[in-house]
Structure 1
């Protein structure tokens, strides 16, 4: 039987990693593994024999990088045909010695260069390089061609074309995915499966990537996209880790044995292992197949779409989860630096995180003053401190193009919490002559994010490839001069999709209940979490300035008198006042949003520790 006839009878078992096994024999990763077909054929043949003895019904030649571009890096570009022919001959001799019917797959990997439109290598040049390798493999007697570990759909389509034009062997086309279940260029599994089918692949594959769990999820999506397709699955033994200078893979053989059955039941025609797997993994998979009931391909039942796609690409943010669980949350605002140095900012963020802050909020050009990009600061804080951030996202100064581009950039950096706000007018800042035009008001931007980006489309309704996962906050004034207008704005933001609200600073316990009662009298229960703004007072002068000169801030006489009478101990009293206020608002507030004054992060840390 040829391969496709065999697959009609049921799932077959492929081999595991070649590179992992060669490296275990002392071959460095800087060496040309493919050239060992000529200089150390015994090592390659031994690995083939081990996989055959483990139970593999299909083995792959040691030719993954045997194309003219990759071989050129080692000075072997003139040996393409010889290296590929030797690779097939070694595998076929190992099969002959076993007296078993085993398929030999000619292995074709990526060229190692970018092709147009993402590189300078023209499609026809890539196709010629693939054709050169495929011809050598087919002429040497390979039973099928395996094109594997591809991340660029343009490149793999050229490889499939080259194979179909050069020989009449069955073609397996296999793609690798990143941690977010997308290719390196952002293509999702269902699109990949359809593209490979349309390009003429006989078997659609997924290999390398993460461990078995991820590839089972991807296989289900691919199977859903191409219901009558045949599928190849070869996962890594988990995500690799560097331990003591060695690359280690966590998934053991027994774990692979369990997943072999899951792959088969999900519709895989060929199952094996990729990086980190060994003959022990293949033995475990064989044992699993032998001890489980025989499974015929025709009996596979396709899972319903909601069952197949029921695993979300991302979990809700930590802030979203905490607020949903009704846990009191603590957010702290920080301003980006005005220059290049981020040392003080990161030190402050570390202090706040250690004290118990749940989220660091990063303001964007506060008071319309030039500062470092808020996205960059969010990225730095999340990577270096390990605490989740909320990006302040003003609409002022951004047109529709920039708004949407900035949102995509933030999402690509791993930022998921955004606080939508109008922003300060440029007239009050460093550059009063700068334009501050905008296309969207905050409620419009909230709608764009929640009803557009989070569903996978932009403002025009065009697909952005995959939905974003933003958790969106909006501004709320708990002590407005016009209560009716504030209630109207609040309702508009809720209808647009706002997930939570951050308020301006308050100093009176009853500010929140007054606005909540006014809202509920008109629109029913307010079921969105409110994080009350807390701006710690530092001195009597500071308190008087805020009370008399900052619109919307009302500080009770008693509080101003206490801090004024404290003299040099004003900061201590400021902490006490903040802690007392926080304890008294917990009946209606879901959390607090602390705004440090004069970079007094020590005061904020003291407040957090007191209310935790």
Structure 2
């Protein structure tokens, strides 16, 4: 099993991911799918804003989803901003300033949910209701999806944005949102479901040009187990992260679990940084209906059965993406930290 041991970026802030991995015995738990859990609580996410719609209409549901995953044992919770963009909010009739407020709200809701949960847990420990050490104080990662997520046409699953899309245009699209989220006070930034080297490059360059002080991870999506979906090798994207002082971990997300072991192994050959893996269930996305094709993915038991192989290949943070649930995350936490008995801590 590959551990993060040799990787220790300079500065207390940049050490957050490495310290979490170290304190978790080499592998920490990330949360799971946001949309599926919002739908479980009655939200409508079949709009171009997807989960970001609840930031404008039902923030209490966002808080509840964070709570669900914290109770399941997540040590990193991602904000509901994956598909939240300033032009996206504007297209729904909101001003740019309101859009900035909604982005900031995504971080505020996650931070408050984390802080409230942690305070309540500590109080329960103090009263002797539960033993200490079953939970750690989770980190909040501000989620930033790819340009294709904003388009809401499924193009993050292909990386095909057309010949007119350039590095500079991608930087222009991502820059303001990234800075707004960084300023809102997350522990981390999660650059997610990145389909191409050029979009990864755009995001890394923004972090460096703006001297962003919040550490980031960058995770890519693959369909063939060798390359990101636009055709660039997974190694080239991992090498980009390895060279960056601003990106502290490399990952794979929204990829079928059966493909992840090889991708982790390939990335581990070129980076010493922590590797993040949070696959979907292996289902297919229907962009026209804006839904996952059911009955094609892994069960929670199937999903968890991959974990040992992912750890041996070099994964240091493991969670779930689309269609995974708190049940999936609870199973992951149980597999990684079997002595925690998380069920005894749920309210």
- Please say whether Structure 1 and Structure 2 have the same fold, judged by a TM-score greater than 0.5: yes
Correspondence list, 1:480-495, <5 A: none
Whether 1:240 and 2:284 are equivalent positions in the alignment is: yes
Asked if the contact 1:4/1:170 (under 8 Å) is kept, the reply is no
Asked if the contact 2:225/2:259 (under 8 Å) is kept, the reply is no
Residue in structure 2 matched with residue 82 of structure 1 by the alignment: 101
Whether 1:120 and 2:183 are equivalent positions in the alignment is: no
Residue in structure 2 matched with residue 103 of structure 1 by the alignment: 139
Q: Deviations over 1:124-183 (max 9, x none)?
A: 343233221122212211001110001021112111222332521111011001236322
User: What is the total number of aligned residue pairs between the two structures?
Assistant: 290
Please report how far the alpha carbon of residue 77 of structure 1 lies from its aligned counterpart in structure 2 after TM superposition.
6.4
Residue in structure 2 matched with residue 202 of structure 1 by the alignment: 248
Specify whether residues 142 and 283 from structure 1 end up closer, same or farther in structure 2 by C-alpha distance, changes over 3 A only. same
CA distance in 1, matches of 2:161, 2:244: 18
Out of 18, 30, 35, the residue aligned to residue 4 of structure 1 is 18
Q: Deviations over 1:335-386 (max 9, x none)?
A: xxxxxxxxxxxxxxxxxxxxxxxxxxxxxxxxxxxxxxxxxxxxxxxxxxxx
Mean Cα deviation higher: 46-55 or 90-99: 90-99
CA distance in 2, matches of 1:3, 1:288: 20
Specify whether residues 132 and 241 from structure 1 end up closer, same or farther in structure 2 by C-alpha distance, changes over 3 A only. closer
Whether 1:61 and 2:79 are equivalent positions in the alignment is: yes
CA distance in 2, matches of 1:279, 1:255: 15
Whether 1:182 and 2:227 are equivalent positions in the alignment is: yes
Asked if the contact 2:140/2:187 (under 8 Å) is kept, the reply is yes
* Equivalent position SS for 1:142: coil
Asked if the contact 1:116/1:122 (under 8 Å) is kept, the reply is no
Residue in structure 1 matched with residue 133 of structure 2 by the alignment: none
Asked if the contact 2:197/2:236 (under 8 Å) is kept, the reply is no
Whether 1:43 and 2:61 are equivalent positions in the alignment is: yes
Which of structures 1 and 2 has the larger relative contact order (alpha carbons within 8 angstroms, sep 6+)? Answer: 2
* Equivalent position SS for 1:280: helix
CA distance in 2, matches of 1:190, 1:143: 27
Q: Deviations over 1:178-212 (max 9, x none)?
A: 236322221122222213323452101111121x2
CA distance in 2, matches of 1:291, 1:89: 31
Please report how far the alpha carbon of residue 73 of structure 1 lies from its aligned counterpart in structure 2 after TM superposition.
4.3
Asked if the contact 1:81/1:132 (under 8 Å) is kept, the reply is no
Correspondence list, 1:48-447, <5 A: 48-76=66-94, 78=96, 79-99=98-118, 101-112=137-148, 119-164=163-208, 165-179=210-224, 181-200=226-245, 201-210=247-256, 212-226=257-271, 228-240=272-284, 247-248=293-294, 250-291=297-338
Please report how far the alpha carbon of residue 60 of structure 1 lies from its aligned counterpart in structure 2 after TM superposition.
0.1
Asked if the contact 1:68/1:129 (under 8 Å) is kept, the reply is no
* Equivalent position SS for 1:148: strand
Out of 21, 26, 47, the residue aligned to residue 37 of structure 2 is 21
CA distance in 2, matches of 1:8, 1:150: 27
Correspondence list, 1:418-567, <5 A: none
Asked if the contact 2:268/2:314 (under 8 Å) is kept, the reply is yes
Q: Deviations over 1:274-303 (max 9, x none)?
A: 01100000000111112389xxxxxxxxxx
Alignment gaps of 5+ in structure 1: 294-612
Q: Deviations over 1:15-71 (max 9, x none)?
A: 001122223434142252213113100111111000000000000000001223444
Alignment gaps of 5+ in structure 2: 1-14, 119-135, 341-347
User: Which structure has the larger Rg over C-alpha atoms?
Assistant: 1
CA distance in 2, matches of 1:246, 1:147: 22
Q: Deviations over 1:498-545 (max 9, x none)?
A: xxxxxxxxxxxxxxxxxxxxxxxxxxxxxxxxxxxxxxxxxxxxxxxx
